Structure 1
């Protein structure tokens, strides 16, 4: 879509692009959403791809994902053998409701900052206990837990002019066993619910991440594997106004699916599979 209110596109921003931010600006990365709808309040686009941030940096501490890393780049990444939960990278990419063309342009950071309930990069990074590095226009930097970033449907903690710079996934989360469940109304449809369960090797703990069915991510943590009743009760205390409603499912439907799939995840991890 043509954005006919745009008067300038900054193709070569400074290394700290937020310093020059002012009202009417928008950060441009993949632009797959930005150019899909009217943006009457915008006057200037700042192209972040020109900054050439490293898309993926793996090391002993874990995996750093640059905010401008494309979905295709993330999908192509081969995690080390000692990162069993690394399989969730490809799984979450496959949860996108998009074509291969979108994969080549859409970015990890863009999907997170859209902060939609069905954003698979949100599901991924919350489940893997990631932290986000945010740059403010005044030059300051802060980090937030992925769980705390999205506050509601299309809402997050970003202040005006603040930018997501990188996502840091710790190695201890990547070394966990992991399994997931996802439901869509059609084979390639938008997620109605998307759940991920992880477990630390050699323990009986459980970290269950609930997304898509809720307006913000919900994390249920247990030091020891709960029984079925305890797990169901933990889901039932999720506030009613957190469950999401749209054409893909009612809150009651999404709560029912979450209860059902959470029990499947519990049993699978309790039985020792998958890796």
Structure 2
């Protein structure tokens, strides 16, 4: 879509270039930005010109730049110990998008858009990923993605802050995972996504997204029973409502998917 209100496009090469003027907004992949009118946006600041490496394998795990595309996210040669690596492809497939979009849409864009069905949100919360945020004073702060995303279209980003990267800890990457998703139609947007992770010490993480306005993460000392899962889901204070599913249906299918996830990892 043509953004007829945009009058200027400038590349960002340094942190100082990320200071936005009135009417400016950051441009990553632009797969959402150019999908609908953006009244009030008069300038774009190209974040991809920063030249960040898409991803880096470190001693602590995997660091993924905010400008990393979905296609690039699937490139890292996962070490054998990274048992959770298939989850990256499973979440990418949850987008139900063409390969053209995979080569454009970015990890950071999906997180900052903060849609309940954001597949990168599901991935990051299930693997205890941290958002690395650049602050206007030249510093940075870190926050679990599960807390970074606060509701539909709402994140913890403050004025002048920029999402720099998403860091996946090695301990989570070494856990066994199980993935479940449901939608009202075969090619529809996710109505509920449930991911389980069983760590080497027996600890169990259950991540719920798409069915709720924000992601939820539940932790157990061992693989939970159906009763344990039901008690955990009872603490969800709101189930999401949109054309892709009613709240009561989403609550019911989330319990079913969670039960399947626990059974697979038991």
Give how far 1:186 is off: 2.4
Q: TM-score, normalised by structure 1?
A: 0.93
Q: For residues 103 and 265 of structure 1, what CA distance do their matches in structure 2 show?
A: 27
Q: For residues 145 and 91 of structure 2, what CA distance do their matches in structure 1 show?
A: 15
Q: Which residue does the alignment assign to 2:115?
A: 116
Q: Which residue does the alignment assign to 1:138?
A: 137
Residues 1:6 and 2:2 are matched in the alignment: no
Residues 1:219 and 2:217 are matched in the alignment: yes
Gaps of 5+ in 2: none
Aligned residues: 266
Q: For residues 256 and 70 of structure 1, what CA distance do their matches in structure 2 show?
A: 33
Q: For residues 142 and 82 of structure 1, what CA distance do their matches in structure 2 show?
A: 29
Match 1:206 to one of 197, 204, 207: 204
Give how far 1:21 is off: 1.7
Task: Confirm or deny: 8 A CA contact 2:13 2:49 kept in the other structure.
Answer: no
Q: TM-score, normalised by structure 2?
A: 0.96
Residues 1:84 and 2:83 are matched in the alignment: yes
Residues 1:171 and 2:170 are matched in the alignment: yes
Equivalent positions of 1:98-113 (< 5 A) are 98-113=97-112
Alpha-carbon displacement from aligned partner over 1:238-271 (angstroms, at most 9, x marks no partner): 11xx21111110000100011111111111111x
Q: For residues 251 and 230 of structure 1, what CA distance do their matches in structure 2 show?
A: 21
Residues 17 and 88 (structure 1), Cα distance of their counterparts in 2 relative to 1, 3 Å cut? farther
SS in structure 2 of the partner of residue 116 of structure 1: coil
Give how far 1:202 is off: 4.5
Q: Which residue does the alignment assign to 1:151?
A: 150
Q: For residues 138 and 123 of structure 2, what CA distance do their matches in structure 1 show?
A: 28
SS in structure 2 of the partner of residue 191 of structure 1: coil
Residues 1:67 and 2:77 are matched in the alignment: no
Q: Which residue does the alignment assign to 2:231?
A: 233
Q: For residues 250 and 88 of structure 1, what CA distance do their matches in structure 2 show?
A: 27
SS in structure 2 of the partner of residue 259 of structure 1: helix
SS in structure 2 of the partner of residue 82 of structure 1: coil
Q: For residues 185 and 246 of structure 2, what CA distance do their matches in structure 1 show?
A: 16
Gaps of 5+ in 1: 271-275
Q: Which residue does the alignment assign to 2:259?
A: 263
SS in structure 2 of the partner of residue 49 of structure 1: helix
Task: Confirm or deny: 8 A CA contact 1:30 1:107 kept in the other structure.
Answer: yes
Q: For residues 80 and 184 of structure 2, what CA distance do their matches in structure 1 show?
A: 34
Backbone CA RMSD of aligned residues: 1.3
Q: For residues 165 and 36 of structure 2, what CA distance do their matches in structure 1 show?
A: 26
Give how far 1:196 is off: 0.5
Task: Confirm or deny: 8 A CA contact 1:19 1:138 kept in the other structure.
Answer: no
Give how far 1:116 is off: 0.1
Give how far 1:51 is off: 1.2
SS in structure 2 of the partner of residue 219 of structure 1: strand
Q: For residues 229 and 117 of structure 1, what CA distance do their matches in structure 2 show?
A: 26
Give how far 1:19 is off: 5.0
